[in-house]
């Protein structure tokens, strides 16, 4: 479903109290970034999927508006293999939401924390951050065929642009191992029913990577 439309974006900005009547230029910059020819997985489909997943869970967030804005911006800057993508995505969000739209510093701070949670380099304690992590990782629990297709799409983003197929396989295996080493992949009760499938996908995916 195409949730992230120009009207949807403008409605969010109106809710946030922007001083810009119709900030369509931000929407078109974001969609251009997500539609870049080098992207295969980190596209508008990923953003739309997260927004749709969040729709029935919005009541669980302390600030649903901040969550939606963070979802929209969290992969706005995406260079495969580079460090700091999330920081750069936040910088873009700060430029548009803060400098141009003059949104509150409180809202900006929430958006920053939510975007940085998608580095997945630690397990956050704050409920909103845990929900953001689960929304971003939900694709790990798709049916195995879709899980594999997502892996192919991510590989196409990396190989040969920034690494060899062998290097990608090594990095992908390390990511799977890191997820499996966690007490649980999903951190909120709403996503607990998907834990088993995600565990099986990662275990089978890791086995396949090691056998290749």
Question: One digit per residue, pLDDT tens: the chain, 212 residues?
Answer: 899 999 999 999 989 988 776 789 999 999 999 999 999 999 999 999 999 999 999 999 999 999 999 999 999 999 999 999 999 999 999 999 999 899 999 999 999 999 999 999 999 999 999 999 999 999 999 999 999 999 999 999 999 999 999 999 999 999 999 999 999 999 999 999 999 999 999 999 999 999 97
List the one residue out of 100, 80, 86, 72 whose CA is nearest residue 12. 72
Domains and CATH numbers, the chain: 6-211 (1.10.1300.10)
pLDDT at 122: 95
Residue 175 backbone phi and psi in degrees, to 5:
-65, -45
Give residue 212's pLDDT: 79
pLDDT of residue 154: 98
DSSP 98: I
Q: pTM score, two decimals?
A: 0.97
Whole-number Cα distances in Å, 9 to 25, 107, 133: 11, 16, 22
- List the one residue out of 119, 25, 109, 26 whose CA is nearest residue 75: 119
User: Within 13 Å of residue 10, how many CA atoms lie on the same side as its CB?
Assistant: 10
Q: Are 185 and 179 in contact (CB under 8 A)?
A: yes
The CA-atom distances, in angstroms, between 193 and each of 96, 142, 153, 171 are 37, 12, 26, 28
pLDDT of residue 22: 72
Long-range contacts of 206-212 (CB under 8 A, 24+ apart): 206/173, 206/176, 206/177, 206/180, 209/169, 209/172, 209/173, 209/176, 210/173, 212/169
């Amino acid at each position: 479903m195409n949730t992230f439309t120009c009207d949807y974006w403008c409605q969010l900005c109106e809710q946030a109290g922007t001083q810009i009547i119709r900030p369509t230029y931000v929407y078109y910059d974001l969609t251009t970034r997500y539609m870049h020819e080098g992207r295969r997985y980190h596209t508008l489909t990923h953003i739309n999927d997260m927004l749709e997943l969040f729709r029935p869970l919005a009541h669980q967030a302390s600030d649903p508006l901040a969550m939606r804005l963070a979802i929209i911006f969290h992969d706005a800057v995406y260079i495969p293999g580079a460090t700091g993508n999330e920081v750069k995505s936040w910088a873009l969000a700060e430029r548009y939401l803060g400098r141009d739209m003059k949104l509150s510093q409180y809202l900006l701070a929430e958006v920053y924390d939510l975007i940085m949670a998608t580095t997945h380099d630690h397990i956050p304690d704050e409920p909103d951050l845990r929900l953001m992590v689960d929304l971003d990782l939900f694709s790990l629990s798709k049916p195995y065929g879709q899980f594999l297709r997502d892996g192919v799409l991510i590989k196409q983003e990396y190989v040969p642009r920034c690494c060899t197929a062998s290097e990608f396989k090594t990095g992908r295996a390390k990511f799977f191992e890191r997820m499996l080493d966690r007490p649980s992949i999903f951190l909120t009760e709403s996503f607990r029913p998907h834990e088993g499938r995600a565990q099986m996908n990662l275990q089978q995916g890791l086995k396949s990577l090691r056998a290749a």
